[in-house]
């Protein structure tokens, strides 16, 4: 009986996430059209910010409540899920075109962000206990702002083959954005909190909870948003959402979290960091195989299988 309420709240959270994601895609696309932004830029910035809110909220709440151990695991797990599962599922729905600017700027930025936290978490710069402190958090934030400035400066990647909706009236656009962000906030909070409650009651460690249950829950907005975009054949938003969210998760979410309290890092999570590096490399490889710069349905299936393997590997000590 004690598990019935968390399960019910999980379902409510899923509903809020689905509605919020749909509203956010519609509102964000409308704003981008009005601002003459390309669909890729919309996904990398507006949509990515909105779908990264659950990671930010969970990390901030965890740090304030004295459980910062969840923070790094949440981001590593979320970013791995974004690449392997979300891109995998989205490309199985509709093959994803990858633009030249993403290959030159966004995919390398993802590698740089992952490399940065690997060095920081393993104390390459300080040689002290395994933490990411406030100084390193400021460095991450500065790198994030630099990436965003470069992104808007290079807003020249308009894809002719991308179908986008017509611009909505401003009142409806703002309403959709507000409702979308609120839906994602409420859904992400409900899902992550209750998923964590159930997982802990099953005896899982804090780092495993962060890597698997919390990361999966907080990545649901990215999953649903990218699926909605793929169903609308808007692959630019689908991949832009994933790449932008991954970069913002590290630079902005971890940066803000480390300003609240130092973030402890379990050296065993280096294995998951290596998997995240491998996921980035596999994603880049899929772009250059087959015809054109696309992630095909078959390649999406391979990515999805990779995520299943990641989850089994991460959960193995608790099974």
- Residue 34 sits at φ, ψ, to 5 deg, of -65, -35
State yes or no: pLDDT of 42 exceeds 90.
no
**pLDDT cut 70: percent of the chain above it:** 88
Structural domain for 9, as ranges: 4-318
Of the candidate ranges 8-12, 135-139, 144-148, the one whose mean pLDDT is the lowest: 8-12
Q: How many residues does the chain have?
A: 319
Looking up residue 33, the CATH number of its domain turns out to be 1.20.1420.30
pTM score, whole prediction: 0.81
User: Average per-residue pLDDT in the chain?
Assistant: 82
How does pLDDT run across 283-314, given as a tens digit for each residue?
Answer: 888 887 766 678 888 999 999 999 999 888 88
Helix residue ranges, H only, the chain = 4-34, 39-42, 48-51, 53-64, 69-81, 87-93, 100-101, 107-121, 134-153, 170-201, 206-208, 215-218, 220-231, 235-248, 255-260, 270-288, 297-315
State yes or no: pLDDT of 282 exceeds 60.
yes
The residue that leads in pLDDT, 48 or 93, is 93
Of the candidate ranges 7-16, 206-215, 245-254, the one whose mean pLDDT is the lowest: 206-215
How does pLDDT run across 162-195, given as a tens digit for each residue?
Answer: 444 567 888 998 999 899 889 888 887 787 777 7
Return d(Cα 155, Cα 86) in angstroms, integer: 25
Dig out the tokens for 270 from the structure: 């280096």
Query: Is residue 27 within 8 Å of 200, Cβ to Cβ?
Result: no
| Average of per-residue pLDDT across 221-237 | 81
Return d(Cα 211, Cα 225) in angstroms, integer: 21
Query: Is residue 218 within 8 Å of 192, Cβ to Cβ?
Result: yes
Q: What confidence category does residue 160 fall into, taking pLDDT thresholds of 50, 70 and 90?
A: very low
Q: How many domains is the chain built from? A: 1
Return d(Cα 203, Cα 222) in angstroms, integer: 28
- Report pLDDT for 200: 72
- Residue 131 sits at φ, ψ, to 5 deg, of -145, 160
DSSP string covering 228-250, please? HHHHTT-HHHHHHHHHHHHHHII
State yes or no: pLDDT of 17 exceeds 60.
yes
- The DSSP symbol for 316 reads G
């Amino acid at each position: 009986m004690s598990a019935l309420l968390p399960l019910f709240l999980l379902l409510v959270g899923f509903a809020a996430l689905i509605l919020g994601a749909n509203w956010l895609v519609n509102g964000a696309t409308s704003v981008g059209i009005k601002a003459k932004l390309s669909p890729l830029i919309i996904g990398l910035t507006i949509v990515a910010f909105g779908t990264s809110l659950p990671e930010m909220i969970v990390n901030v709440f965890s740090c304030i409540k004295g459980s910062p151990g969840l923070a790094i695991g949440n981001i590593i797990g979320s970013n791995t899920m974004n690449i392997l599962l979300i891109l995998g599922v989205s490309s199985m729905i509709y093959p994803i075109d990858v633009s030249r600017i993403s290959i030159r700027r966004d995919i390398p930025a993802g590698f740089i962000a992952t490399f940065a936290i690997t060095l920081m978490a393993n104390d390459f710069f300080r040689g002290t206990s395994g933490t990411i402190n406030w100084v390193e958090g400021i460095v991450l934030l500065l790198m994030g702002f630099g990436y965003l400035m470069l992104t808007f400066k290079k807003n020249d990647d308009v894809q002719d083959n991308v179908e986008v909706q017509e611009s909505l009236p401003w009142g409806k656009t703002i309403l959709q954005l507000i409702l979308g962000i609120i839906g994602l906030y409420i859904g992400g909070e409900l899902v992550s909190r209750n998923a964590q409650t159930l997982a802990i009651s099953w005896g899982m460690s804090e780092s495993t909870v962060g890597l698997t249950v919390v990361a999966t829950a907080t990545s649901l907005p990215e999953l649903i948003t990218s699926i909605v975009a793929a169903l609308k054949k808007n692959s630019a938003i689908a991949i832009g959402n994933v790449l932008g969210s991954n970069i913002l998760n590290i630079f902005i979410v971890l940066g803000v979290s480390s300003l609240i309290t130092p973030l402890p890092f379990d050296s065993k999570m280096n294995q998951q960091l290596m998997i995240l590096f491998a996921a980035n490399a596999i994603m880049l490889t899929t772009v250059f195989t087959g015809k054109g710069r696309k992630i095909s349905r078959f390649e999406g299936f391979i990515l999805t299988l990779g995520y299943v393997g990641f989850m089994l590997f991460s959960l193995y000590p608790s099974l």
